[in-house]
Structure 1
């Protein structure tokens, strides 16, 4: 029987196992933006902060929330969006979902209100794995892999994201979605 993990691709979601034991990723869903031979770059989709984009960028006037993209370089800003028509230099992650692009265009579109929370999400920091590191975690069954679509990502409340991704997978995963955060309290 083959016990090798499912291969990871750009656009995959890594869903943290319910009792992973890593505070950085507890009940997290990570979007894989880039996966190649040297490593993996991803963004945690469901760790919203109390900080807004306008709090950290002086010439942006918005209350768009910031998310913690992961524990690596939390002094960096990253973003995903579904508006490559407004943002040059966007990198396609999966159908209708893009990462990065011309930040000056983003600032202008956000200030004009043509880019809203329904089309873009901002992150401080990111999640990163060196060559072989993520594969090792997959062998240890620390993550469940799923695919995503931009509509699901932007239309699902972040507080329900972990549960909803598992419910959509169905089967045994639907049951996992209802596991308590602390089984001792059950």
Structure 2
């Protein structure tokens, strides 16, 4: 599903607002040990963001690239702004930024994802965060994960993914190292309990 169709989406699929947790046998290296927050799911496909993969680019790098400040001003930014997390959201459109955030901020193109979470992909939210007037909770991703019609359902049927309800705390939790294990724990299971073979414990 192309991101551009998300704004037009009104039909909700059964994976909307769910986490996908990669099974140990996930063959696609882009998604090994990943936790994906699904923002849109319909008969046309699905899209979401990996929420546990770090990005080498910093928020300051983003601001400099967008020419929102110069290097001298960057030094003066508060630590909270300098350390704002940038994640690798997925393998599609990796040069494009997206911000998942709490609904206390509404930008020019903000799209409600759930009752409490919105998505903004325009520069106004980046500028607001840099000026400490952005949403109370937010995470920026470069790129997203997308699936065509029926593709994700086939991957789930093939034992590629587990799914469970998403939690806002985990979406905005900046501790990435054990997020995969913690996501599994919300389902009462551990990585050691999982099998790469469908139908076998």
Return the TM-score normalized by structure 1. Answer: 0.79
Q: Equivalent residue for 2:102?
A: 82
- Give the gaps of 5 or more residues in structure 2: 1-12, 75-80, 195-201
Shift of 1:175: 2.8
Q: Answer whether contact 1:15 1:162 (CA < 8 A) is retained.
A: yes
Match of 1:91 in 2: 111
Distance 1:177 1:33 in 2: 28
Question: Where in structure 2 are the equivalents of 1:1-186 lying within 5 Å?
Answer: 8-56=14-62, 57-59=66-68, 62-63=81-82, 64-100=84-120, 103-104=123-124, 106-115=125-134, 119-155=137-173, 157-170=175-188, 174-176=189-191
TM-superposed CA distance for 1:88, in Å, is: 4.9
Query: C-alpha deviations, 1:70-103, integer Å up to 9, x for none?
Result: 1112121112011343435422222312112653
Distance 1:144 1:100, change over 3 A: same
Runs of 4+ aligned structure 1 residues displaced above 6 Å come to none
Unaligned 5+ runs, structure 1: 1-6, 180-186
Q: Work out whether residues 79 and 120 of structure 1, in 8 Å CA contact, stay in contact via their aligned partners in 2.
A: yes
State the TM-score, normalizing by the size of structure 2.
0.74
Q: What do residues 146-182 of structure 1 show as CA deviations (whole Å, max 9, x unaligned)?
A: 1112123213622111110110111xxx232677xxx
Aligned length: 168
SS of 2:32's partner is coil
Report if aligned partners of 1:88, 1:101 keep a CA contact under 8 Å in 2: no
Q: Which has the higher strand share?
A: 1
The Cα shift of 1:119 comes to 1.0
- SS of 1:124's partner is strand
**What root-mean-square deviation, in Å, do the aligned CA atoms of Structure 1 and Structure 2 show?**
2.3
Q: Is the 8 A contact 1:162 1:177 kept in 2?
A: no
How far off is 1:38 after superposition? 1.1
| Residues in 2 aligned to 1:126 and 1:177: alpha-carbon distance in whole angstroms | 28
